[in-house]
Amino acid sequence: MSTRLRLALAAMALALIGATSVAAQLDELLKRLPQRPAGEGLGDARIGQGLKEALRVGTENAVSLTSRVDGFFANQAIKILMPERLHSLDQGLRLIGYGDRVDGLVLGMNRAAERAAPSARKIFVDAIGEMSIEDARQLLAGADTAVTDYFKGKTTGRLTAAFQPVVARTMNEVGVARQYKDLLAQAQAIPFFRAESYDLDRYVVGKSLDGLFHVVGEEERKIRKNPTARTTELLREVFSHR
């Protein structure tokens, strides 16, 4: 209910009860009227700006954190491990003394993800500009990672297309493809062992995006729950009203 309408209702009520103790009566009536939902006073445009600012800060932090050396490899929450379908390959090779080669393969996959992460910047910026005011109002009142989940749905296709060539090129540069072929050949030499081939490039692209959005989600949680993470005046204004 708008302030103008609330005051109009109060005035009508006062006309019915008389002008005695007008100030006290008005104060009492205003207290009884329905209060504004949190965030209503900000206006749709301001909420939209605030959500876009949250995305800008969150995605920039996420790209910076994941694109540095060990951004994936040293973060246990997003570190890319051998695919589950190759678990038997991993175990078999370690049993015959090739554990260091397997570890090198894992490191190479994470290095590919770290090099691909900066490709997300422009895609994120473009998608932020596409967010509607209606989307923003709904997302402000959403769950802790509502903005991240919305953003993931809007950008995954474009990010996949952008990450694929970077991952493929990097996997070759750091020797992942060669290491993988060598390990498969070694596994074939193990009696009664059947090594399964796997599209590692596709796997690394998928895991790279999972890790990136995990970090974006963590950044969103910080902004929603921790006032010190609201590093701009706009973020403080919008998220203090939710």
Q: 59 and 116, same structural domain?
A: yes
- Locus of tokens 């919305």: 150
Q: 137 and 112, same structural domain?
A: yes
Angle at the Cα of 204 from the Cα atoms of 203 and 208, rounded to 5 degrees: 120
Per-residue pLDDT of the chain (242 residues; tens, 9 = 90+): 444 444 443 443 333 334 444 444 434 433 443 434 444 456 777 888 888 888 888 899 999 999 999 999 999 999 999 888 787 777 877 877 878 888 998 999 999 999 999 999 999 999 888 888 888 878 887 888 998 998 899 999 999 999 999 999 999 888 888 888 887 777 777 666 666 667 889 999 999 999 999 999 999 898 888 887 787 787 888 777 65
| 38 backbone φψ class: left, alpha, beta (φ>0; ψ -120 to 50) | beta
What token pair was written down for 143?
A: 């769950």
Q: 52 and 20, same structural domain?
A: no
Q: 48 and 67, same structural domain?
A: yes
Rounded CA gap, 49 and 55, in Å? 10
Q: How far apart are the first and last CA of the chain?
A: 17
Query: What is the pLDDT, as a whole number, of residue 194?
Result: 67
Q: 24 and 49, same structural domain?
A: no
Q: 68 and 2, same structural domain?
A: no
- Locus of tokens 């929450």: 77
3-state SS class at 103? helix
Query: What is the pLDDT, as a whole number, of residue 17?
Result: 36
Q: Which domain holds residue 70?
A: 42-239
Q: 183 and 91, same structural domain?
A: yes
Q: 144 and 97, same structural domain?
A: yes
**pTM, full prediction:** 0.74
3-state SS class at 72? coil
Helix (H) or strand (E) holding 125: helix 120-129
Q: 168 and 69, same structural domain?
A: yes
Query: What is the pLDDT, as a whole number, of residue 41?
Result: 54
Domains contained in the chain, number: 2
Q: 211 and 100, same structural domain?
A: yes
Q: 62 and 12, same structural domain?
A: no
Query: What is the pLDDT, as a whole number, of residue 152?
Result: 93
Query: What is the pLDDT, as a whole number, of residue 181?
Result: 81
Q: 116 and 1, same structural domain?
A: no
Query: What is the pLDDT, as a whole number, of residue 186?
Result: 74
179 within 8 A of 104, measured Cβ to Cβ? yes
